[in-house]
Amino acid sequence: MSQTNGEATCSEIKARGLLTEKGVEISERGSIDALSSRGYGTMLNDIFSLSFYEALYLLDKEQLEIFDKSKKQTKFETLLKRYQEKNENAWVNYLVYRDLRTRGYVVREGFGVGTDFRIYERGTYGKDTAQYLVLSIQEGKPLPMQDLKNAVQHCQSQKKELTIAVMNRRGETVYYSVSPLTFK
């Protein structure tokens, strides 16, 4: 993966969203357009939603305000706790997402066996398919070989490159490219 120097600033975005069981819904048209043009969120059945990690990132960047159904503002810690209820790897996924976004990539939800994210180079999102699929793991936490094998096979079938993002104990992300070894 090549890297760019930081994400384009989107400080003009100040979206407001509603906390739901699956993430954060945005209803204001201008915010939807601004967010989707930068590779955030998904539109499904006329509802624009941000995933938990996208909402955490935007909340941390002060580009999003989140409210619950009782109109009470949701803080970062509350949103993270809700995400952790759905995904035991929530903190690692958020930190990897934040690192990739900071490096200038558009990061979308992964698909298929054992991948957390799809990565698009800056300027290619919406024009090209993702070249990389990312599997996020925490240093010291075992990764079953069958899971790794399944992820590699899935990436091969999709003609993508597998990258393992390892979150070390200091909270830094180290990336490893993974491919099958073949002997001639």
Domain positions in the chain: 15-86, 90-178
Q: What is the mean pLDDT of the chain?
A: 87
**What is the fold of 15-86?**
MutS, DNA mismatch repair protein, domain I (3.40.1170)
Q: pLDDT band at 184, cuts 50/70/90?
A: confident
- Domain 90-178 is of which CATH architecture? 3-Layer(aba) Sandwich (3.40)
pLDDT at residue 102, rounded to an integer: 93
Distance in angstroms (rounded) separating the CA atoms of residues 74 and 18: 9
- Mean pLDDT throughout 102-106? 91
What is the DSSP track for 123-141? TTBTTB--SEEEEEEETTS
- Mean pLDDT throughout 143-170? 90
Determine how many CB atoms are found less than 10 A away from the CB of residue 20.
Answer: 14
pLDDT in tens, 121-141: 776 676 778 889 999 999 999
> Nearest-CA neighbor of 38 among 53, 54, 24?
54
